Chain A
Amino acid sequence: KNEVEQSPQNLTAQEGEFITINCSYSVGISALHWLQQHPGGGIVSLFMLSSGKKKHGRLIATINIQEKHSSLHITASHPRDSAVYICAVTSYMDSNYQLIWGAGTKLIIKP
């Protein structure tokens, strides 16, 4: 079983729709990260959170530590939001912090 599971794997939506991407994890974490990977491959860190909720522009990330679950929401989605969104968790293992990656959610927003 993967330690970080994302759903859905693929998501296609129309411009303007409200988007939700989910992430569940099974390990103890010190932080959870949402990252964006564009078609060119570069990775950009969107959020790092350890509790509650963060908002940046049209992006909102929430985390429920008790349920080991996080969601990334995009309001008023736009074609430029099309990318792979990756959930990753920082976990302390073997005397080191490690970043454990989800498989990513490929999001396509159609005009």
Chain B
Amino acid sequence: EPEVTQTPSHQVTQMGQEVILRCVPISNHLYFYWYRQILGQKVEFLVSFYNNEISEKSEIFDDQFSVERPDGSNFTLKIRSTKLEDSAMYFCASDGGQGPYGYTFGSGTRLTVV
């Protein structure tokens, strides 16, 4: 069964450093998403991406964050100048249609900012 792959599974970084979280969505999917979940809290939407551009972003997704699809397969989330409060589980998801056709989630990257 097709999978969404995320790397790394766990990353520890110093406060102020930049991190790049990587995702390989399902190849024929069109819509890509990043979500995050701070420990003990509910999952929050960060950004959606379609046709090589951001289609929607939340208030959380400020100038510190950016997304790219650099080579047509990878989908990356970059966090510049990380803060302690960026520590969370970050999930990538993709879907093959306009939302209702089902999401496939990656297994997540646990980011710890120290």
Q: What number of B residues sit within 8 Å (CB to CB) of A?
A: 23
Give the most central of B44, B98, B100, B106: most A CB within 10 Å.
B100
**What is the interface of chain A mostly: helix, strand, loop, or mixed?**
strand
Q: Which chain B residues border A50 with CB–CB below 8 Å? A: 100
Cα–Cα distance between A35 and B103 once the two chains are bound (Å): 10
Asked if B56 and A33 make an inter-chain contact with CB atoms under 8 angstroms apart, the answer reads: no
Instruction: Choose one: A31, A44, A86, A94; the contact of B99 (CB below 8 Å).
Output: A31
Q: Indicate if the CB atoms of A97 and B105 lie closer than 8 Å.
A: no
In the bound complex, how far is the Cα of B102 from the Cα of A35, in angstroms?
A: 11
Residue of chain B at shortest CB distance from A35: B105
Task: Give residues in B with beta carbon < 8 Å to A.
Answer: 33, 35, 37, 42-45, 48, 55-56, 89, 91, 98-100, 102-108, 110
Q: Are B42 and A102 touching (Cβ within 8 A)?
A: yes
| A contact residues around B42 at 8 Å (CB) | 86, 101-104
Which residue of chain A has the shortest Cβ distance to B50 in the bound complex? A96
The reply to whether B99 and A92 form a contact with Cβ atoms under 8 Å apart is: yes
Given contacts A43-B91, A98-B45, A101-B42, contact A33 B98 (CB under 8 A): no
B91 contact set on A, CB distance < 8 A: 43
- Minimum Cβ distance to chain B for residue A82 (Å): 17
Asked if A75 lies at the interface with its beta carbon under 8 angstroms from chain B, I say: no
Residues 41-83 of A, flagged 1 when their CB comes within 8 A of B and 0 if not, give 1111100101000000000000000000000000000000000
Q: Are A30 and B100 in contact (CB under 8 A)?
A: yes
Residues of B within 8 A of A43 (CB): 43, 91, 105, 107-108
User: How far, in whole Å, are A104 and B100 apart by their CA atoms in the complex?
Assistant: 20
25 CB < 8 A contacts A-B: A30-B99, A35-B105, A40-B107, A41-B89, A41-B107, A41-B110, A42-B105, A42-B107, A43-B91, A43-B107, A45-B105, A48-B100, A50-B100, A86-B43, A88-B43, A92-B99, A94-B56, A96-B48, A97-B99, A98-B48, A99-B33, A99-B103, A101-B42, A102-B42, A103-B42
